[in-house]
Amino acid sequence: SKEKPWAGRFKEKTARSVEEFTVSVEFDSRLAYWDILGSKVHARMLARQGIISEEDAQKIIEGLEKIWREIESGRFRWRSELEDVHMNIEAALIELIGPAGARLHTARSRNDQVATDVRLYLRDEIDDLCRRLQGLQQALVDKAEENIQVIMPGFTHLQHAQPILFAHHLMAYFEMFQRDRERLADCRRRLNYCPLGSAALAGTGFPVDRHFVARELGFTAPCANSLDAVSDRDFIIEFLGAAALIMMHLSRLSEELILWMSSEFAFVDLPDAYCTGSSIMPQKKNPDVPELIRGKSGRVFGHLLSLLTTMKALPLAYNRDMQEDKEPLFDTVDTVKTAVAIMGEIVAHLKPRPERMREVCEEGFLTATDLADYLVEKGLAFREAHAVAGRVVAYALERGRRLWELSLEELRRFSELIDEDLLERLSIEGSVARRNSFGGTAPERVKEAIASARTRLSQD
């Protein structure tokens, strides 16, 4: 096998088992695009500073571009004995252009190189993920607007609570994903500093221009401390934290869709194209997609904990342990991106069943709070009103009747304050319309929320 770039002080060949144990190229080759991007700017900087010649820099850049075309088209031969993406590309460059290629690694180490690659990679992936989240938010707003007249039972403790607009429920998720996007933007802002020029850990004696490199790669500035630059993985952990929250939100939405699709709820329907069947039970139409999203939240939470644990006792600066950051990161990126995208499709194809939701609204005592509120308006203190309404509910329950099926005469036995105008107050529509405090479920408020959501979406 080819000699390793670092083999100078070694007298023996690396054991095969060690090569197999330490290799990372099968997963970090994913960083090739950003590795080459960083190397090109590094080469240009070396020439500008007179550290290498312009001709050598030119050869390096052309060589790297040729290598990228090979990688992109799948013609590049990755060699596991060259360990990782960085040494594979460097070795290929030297093979391709000769001595000039051997000058690329001047004033650089794989430690600042890998830290830069991952930041560049993650910055792009964050932008992609944000666009997907926007798509999902768009689907939620569209679905909310389309179904603005649909009323559903709202729950607390998974018990019927108060009637709400289905649109209001959807818009709650809009807010969660809005916060998720803000968190990602924040994470992006903090990770956008350039490690290059920190070299192995101490900086370099070559007259590098770290500011030029940072600027050319779109970073805000170079990282301030060379030790921190090569040993910081906070930005990955932060991203995994943000990703874990996204998955938690997706999982809650999934859980609701699964419940709502059951025949016990039967609140929504999903088209066949988004469901799967059973190999034994012919009648089945299962919500496997939301179930898998819910399930995949577990692996993302695991990745977050795995990297925190990997990092927690590492002395400064670089340690090989940190190579273990990549698989959890890549798997999280893949998982979250696909989960967000498919949830967007599901929301877009969701069909609420307003009649069924209505039926359930009428089953429970969802307007019992309205009865209490009514008594308060007539002068009763809320605590007393609550007790009166509670006794009315118990009375109706015992007789298997609904609130509005009680006669005025029966109702007046509980309080003299009750009049005919109560009946309108106990209607589902009336109950929803009255909850018009800012952020409430009244149709006018939800329409405002939808309008504000559209503005917020168009602003970024």
Give the footprint of ligand ARG on this chain (CB under 6 A): 24, 28, 84, 110-111, 114, 318, 320, 322-323
User: Of 6 and 382, which has the nearer Cβ to ligand ARG?
Assistant: 6
For residue 231, the minimal CB distance to ligand ARG (Å) is 11
**Beta-ladder partners of 276:** 286
Contacts 24+ apart (CB under 8 A), 89-93: 89/32, 89/35, 89/36, 89/39, 89/64, 90/5, 91/2, 91/5, 92/67, 93/60, 93/63, 93/64, 93/67
Are the C-beta atoms of 428 and 368 separated by less than 8 Å?
no
DSSP-based helix, strand, coil % in the chain, nearest 5: 65, 5, 30
User: Of 120 and 176, which has the nearer Cβ to ligand ARG?
Assistant: 120
From 53, 262, 278, 452, the catalytic residue = 278
Indicate the residue type of 144. Answer: A
User: Of 111 and 137, which has the nearer Cβ to ligand ARG?
Assistant: 111
For residue 261, the minimal CB distance to ligand ARG (Å) is 43
For residue 292, the minimal CB distance to ligand ARG (Å) is 30
Cα–Cα distance for residue pair 83/64, rounded to 1 Å: 19
CA atoms within 13 A on the CB side of 176: 20
What are the DSSP E strand ranges found in 151-267?
A: 151-156, 159-165, 193-194, 221-222
From 157, 263, 437, 458, the catalytic residue = 157
Cα–Cα distance for residue pair 202/193, rounded to 1 Å: 17
Nearest CA-CA partner of 253 in 242, 261, 264: 261
User: Of 29 and 369, which has the nearer Cβ to ligand ARG?
Assistant: 29
For residue 285, the minimal CB distance to ligand ARG (Å) is 45
The yes-or-no answer on residue 17 being catalytic is no
Are the C-beta atoms of 134 and 126 separated by less than 8 Å?
no
The yes-or-no answer on residue 157 being catalytic is yes
Radius of gyration of the chain (CA): 31
For residue 420, give both structure tokens.
Answer: 């005919």
For residue 23, the minimal CB distance to ligand ARG (Å) is 9
User: Of 24 and 415, which has the nearer Cβ to ligand ARG?
Assistant: 24
For residue 318, the minimal CB distance to ligand ARG (Å) is 6
Catalytic residue annotation: 157, 278
